[in-house]
Amino acid sequence: MSIIYRSIVLFIHTYLMKKLALTLLCFSAITAFAQDAKTDTIKNWKVGGTTSLTFNQVSLTNWAAGGKNSMAGTFLINSYFNYKKEKVNWDNIIDLGYGMTKQGSDNPFKTEDKIYIVSKYGYSAGKHWFYSGLLDFKTQFDYGYSDPPENTNKISEFMSPAYLNLSLGMDYKPSDNFSLYLSPLTNKTTFVLDQNLADAGAFGVDPGKNYRAEYGALVKVTAKKANLVKNVDLATRLDLFSNLGDKPQNVDVDWELVFNMKVNEWLSAIASFNMIYDDDISYIDPDGNDKGPQVQFKQLFGFGLSYKFGN
Q: Which domains, and CATH codes, for the chain? A: 3-56+68-310 (2.40.230)
Q: What is the pLDDT of residue 124?
A: 97
pLDDT at 216: 96
Taking alpha carbons only, the member of 164, 281, 157 closest to residue 211 is 164
Which pLDDT tens digit goes with each residue over 259-288? 999 988 889 999 999 999 998 887 877 776
Identify the band that residue 15 occupies on the pLDDT scale cut at 50, 70 and 90.
very low
Q: Say if residues 149 and 109 touch (Cβ distance below 8 Å).
A: yes
Give percent above pLDDT 70 in the chain. 86
Distance CA 88, CA 71 (A): 47
**What pTM was computed for the model?**
0.83
> What are 189's strand-pairing partners?
164, 213
Residue 79: exposure state from Cβ atoms within 10 A (0-12, 13-18, ≥19): buried
pLDDT of residue 55: 87
pLDDT tens by residue, 138-168: 999 999 998 899 999 999 999 999 999 999 9
